[in-house]
Amino acid sequence: MKQPANANANSVYDYLFIGLGAANSLLILNLYKNGLLDGKTIAVIDPSSKFTDDRTFCFWSTREELVALNLEELVSASWDNIEIAGVTKHNIQPLKYYHIRGVDLSNKTKEVLSLNEVIYYPYSIGVIEKTKPEYFNISVGDSLIYCAKVFDSRPPSYCKLQKNQSHIYQSFFGWKIKTIRNIFDTTSMVMMDFKIPQSDSTQFIYILPFEEDRALVELTRFGENKLSKEESLTILSDYVKQLGVDFEIIEHEVGIIPMSSGKIDVPDLGLDWINMGTRANLLKCSTGYAFHAMAEDAIMQTEAIKANRLSVRVSRKGRFVFYDRLLLKLLSKTSEQGKNIFETLFKNVPMVNVLKFMREKTNFSEELLIFSKLPKRIFIEAAVKDIIQETFRLPIITLPIAFTLITILLSWYNIEFISWVVLALGFLTIGLAHGALDHLTSQKILNSKQLFYFVIGYLSKAVLFALVWWLSSDTGLVIFILFSAWHFGQADFKEWRFKEGSSSFFWGLVVLMMILFFHGEEFINILQQIPNLSYLSVDKMSEKLFLGLQILTISGGLFLAMIYKSKYILLTLIYLLLASMLPLLMAFGIYFVGQHSISGWKHLSVGLRKGSSTMWVNSLPFTLGGAFIIFYFLWFAAGNYIGIFFIILSCLSLPHVFSMHNFYRLFPNKK
């Protein structure tokens, strides 16, 4: 390959390959075989100045797959049997375990590239722009090059890990040795031999016997801490000495592979900038295997170019992402379990089935059978934690939608009491609890005396509003609806990161009106149970009036959804509309607990910088106090439960709305 004659020259290329690792090398070979490199201008960017043989590539497949992947001539060794030392040994026919030397793949790629006009840039990539639709502009060293299609195989970076995600490393250090006498069984490779110190990680010896007196003996570690050269030399030396034969080291192999269940963070540079290899998420993070997937992907990319169409990768099935996440979590947090997990797996499950599972070619029933053979307790615990953490990562609106649909289903079978119990628990815990943290949102409370005055002031506001109800129920009801609308709208807009103001207030009104006007009879019943209403007379409310108000409310909500282009507003409208099939209190409870209270709890956690467990403890005295007040007055309500409940709720809500408004002013939206 040629280096650019003029470092300042501007050049135009049809294909640019960033990196000449396995992914791009396999693609180049397939493009060449299909005549797709003929007449093309090609550039390679790779800061590495030479090809080395410190890597091997292994995979398993049938003979037919091997031929279809165009890999047959690259294979240097293969095995019919896989052994887990001290545990089991399996014949894997019709599969074989294949080995390709890194230098053979590199030399073949160089040979193909030498037949074409290729410019090699031994630099790191610089600034990337696209000033013209047909070209990328890339600075490389002192040059500016233009490329129509780019294949990028640089190592990726990863997004910040979520709680149920893990990032560990597969680090390895190996020797290719020659022994003075024949000791290796060339029909069987050793995938794992755990008879070495685990060193607070999961580590094993991997053996590829090429000849009876030649083999690759490699130490591999799965763990957060990478192998160092010193400890690798010690462990390898001790292991090979146990073979009881003199040897010489012919070659070294060393490397590190990321094993991450986190999301890969790569920019979207357009359809003609194609990520390859690990950057394209082709590495199976729980095993470190990627070569077979990269070979399949190279054929897919070649076929797309040949047909002049876009290449579209098929997303991984979600359950395999889940399995990988579980295993990585166990390997990172309970590394001492790794040896037990793998030895149990290979002892109890046929090797062919395991290999099929590792290639993600099994069906769900086969996977259940595999997991039934593994240590159940640790996997069940990990699975439950993962599901809970994944649930909390979903948008908050997912919960009320799901709860609404489940409650409708339960009502068909007359067992909706289950939903009532769940809602009651939700109200008595998070519903009351998120309002029982108002003492933490005040900047003035520094000691018990100030806390006492805060409580007195808080209750005084509630008592004053109770006085308003006593003087004029109509005024109390209107004020309650208005400040509730303001509060609900403010919390939702805070969650959705919209600017608060008149629009958020309008949204809060839409929510309340959706709940009330789509339950006309129950709304009238509630009004009838509120003592001393006069102007808001139920006699003035007709079916036509409710129908008009329903249409007006829906129209207002759709208008906001359109203005803000918000799926969250639209989804809220949908589930509130579905909730019209349920009782009014159920519909209100679903919104209040499932959307409003959970959002408020989340905002308080972030703003106060406190975890949920700490917040529960802080809220408990006031939660119990609020629950006592509600039950006390309901006990003496003489059957008028609904009306009294709403009055008490409004009195306790008023000071909470003021506290949260002040808190939100100190808790700006983060764009």
What DSSP line would sit under 558-586, residue for residue? HHHHHHHT-HHHHHHHHHHHHGGGS-HHH
- Among the residue ranges 157-161, 277-281, 362-366, 394-398, the one predicted with the least confidence is 394-398
Higher-pLDDT residue of 437 and 325 is: 325
Tokens matching residue 465: 């509003």
Share of the chain above pLDDT 90, in %: 49
CA 2 – CA 406 distance, rounded (Å): 66
What percent of the chain is predicted at pLDDT more than 70?
Answer: 93
Residue 509 has pLDDT above 50, yes or no: yes
Question: Which of 490, 537, 525 lies closest to 509, judged by CA?
Answer: 490
pLDDT, tens digit, 9 for 90 and up, residues 406-452: 999 999 989 989 999 999 888 888 888 887 787 777 666 667 777 78
Q: Which tokens is 360 given? A: 């993600």
**Mean pLDDT on 300-327:** 89
Amino acid at 157: S
> What does the pLDDT look like over 11-30, one tens digit per residue?
889 999 999 999 999 999 99
For residue 6, the model assigns a pLDDT of: 43
pLDDT digits (tens, 9 = 90+) for 627-639: 776 676 656 655 5
Please name the amino acid found at residue 395.
P
What pLDDT was estimated at residue 334?
A: 82
Residue 7 has pLDDT above 70, yes or no: no
- What is the token pair recorded at 207? 């053996």
The per-residue pLDDT for 443 is 64
d(CA 136, CA 148): 6
HEC states along 493-554? HHHHCCCCCHHHHHHHHHHHHHHHHCCHHHHHHHHHHCCCCCCCCHHHCCHHHHHHHHHHHH
User: Average pLDDT of 111-136?
Assistant: 84
Q: Which residues of 517-549 are buried (b: 16+ CB within 10 A; e: fewer)?
A: bbbbebbeebbebbeebeeeeeeebeeeebeeb
Name the 3-class secondary structure at 331: helix
Joined tokens for residue 272: 């003609």
Summarised one tens digit per residue, pLDDT across range 514-537 is 999 898 888 888 788 787 777 655
The DSSP call for residue 217 is: E
* Distance linking the first and last C-alpha atoms of the chain: 47
pLDDT one-digit tens code per residue, 575-617 = 999 999 999 989 999 999 999 999 988 888 888 888 878 888 8
How many whole angstroms separate alpha carbon 451 and alpha carbon 440? 10
5 pLDDT tier (thresholds 50, 70, 90) = very low
pTM over 0.85: no
Contact between residue 28 and residue 302 where contact means Cβ atoms under 8 Å apart: no
Residue type for 69, please? L
Cα–Cα dist 216/231, whole Å: 18
Q: Mean pLDDT in the chain? A: 87
CB 56 within 8 A of CB 28: no
